[in-house]
Structure 1
């Protein structure tokens, strides 16, 4: 009986030790809000998936040596995993699709991004709109990873209104996103 108890304990320990716990959307956001509050920043929330090439491209651009400090100075950048398939489905953050849909991302595709303040107030989304429109409006197509001149102009507008970028920094961001490589 003692051997069985030890074996059961060992199996349970191994399962617990080797299973990765994916945080819920709420847990991801609470951590980001706390960091943003402490650092006096906003939250840049990127909805993504492992298979999404444009998601990876946007991450690569934002973390490039030329741009990384600009984004890190202004935002706590965090990710919510959605729209995974098959075995990867378990990597999704619970509540992610609901949060995406509640913030204008239903049927938008990914990457889809939001800007939130440190208290969770919704400030902007990745849906293309004119400078005179509310940045949380759900009209317009998803810019995703901005690439066209119109998408890049909108992205720069959002960054200008939600961060503290110089005109030269915004121009550099626009040029980097326009390169498509």
Structure 2
């Protein structure tokens, strides 16, 4: 046994190493700079605001928040008015956007931390408004809808329609 090498085992270990390296190369999380540069470019080209959501992978409220925004019935509202952008500053699996926590800190007011945290950013990088957390009450839902409505590019009738759908979604989630 001493001195010979099992070629099948070497091939197997080499394959696992190759897969691991390839996986690491193709599944890198883009940095905050890359994500935001892309969002700003798109916002400028489409003349929209950025709806920036900070989230974590372990936050169930974050997942429900995304479901509300990706609901097929309310999705047209977001496609017409916003460039939805997400950043993950904390993750148990190390899938964070490098620089996200620092950017999050720049946008926070009064050290109020909550997941998800949502910011409306204009195409030049100015923070226009914010909403912290998941809307768990009628007042919180109204606050979120007010923020979204204030920067929508749709007319009042369309806003009312889509925001009513979104409000109903959040009420049903509570």
After TM superposition, the score normalised by the length of structure 2 is 0.79
Please state if 1:110 is matched with 2:115: yes
- Which shows bigger deviation, 116-125 or 162-171? 162-171
Cα distance in 2, alignment partners of residues 22 and 172 from structure 1: 32
Runs of 4+ in 1 over 6 A off after TM superposition: 10-15
RMSD: 2.2
> Does the 8 Å contact 2:74/2:163 carry over to 1?
no
1:13 & 1:37 partners in 2: Cα distance? 41
Structure with max Cα Rg: 2
User: For residues 30 and 165 of structure 2, what CA distance do their matches in structure 1 show?
Assistant: 34
- CA shift at 1:109, angstroms? 2.1
SS of 2:64's equivalent? helix
Q: Deviations over 1:24-49 (max 9, x none)?
A: 11111010111111111111111111
Within a 5 Å distance, the mapping from 1:136-155 to structure 2 comes to 142=132, 144-155=133-144
Say if 2:108 is the partner of 1:101. no
Q: Does 1:158 align with 2:147?
A: yes
> In 2, distance between residues paired with 1:108 and 1:168?
31
Count of residue correspondences: 153
Pairing 1:170–2:163 present: yes
Q: What 5-or-longer segments of structure 2 have no aligned partner?
A: 1-14
Task: Report the secondary structure of 1:82's partner residue.
Answer: strand
Q: TM-score, normalised by structure 1?
A: 0.76
The change in CA–CA distance for 1:123 and 1:14 in structure 2 (over 3 A counts) is: same
Separation (CA, whole Å) in 1 of partners of 2:170 and 2:91:
26
Distance 2:126 2:160 in 1: 26
Specify which structure has the bigger relative contact order, considering alpha-carbon pairs within 8 angstroms and separated by 6 or more residues: 2
Distance verdict in 2 for CA 1:11–1:177, change over 3 Å: closer
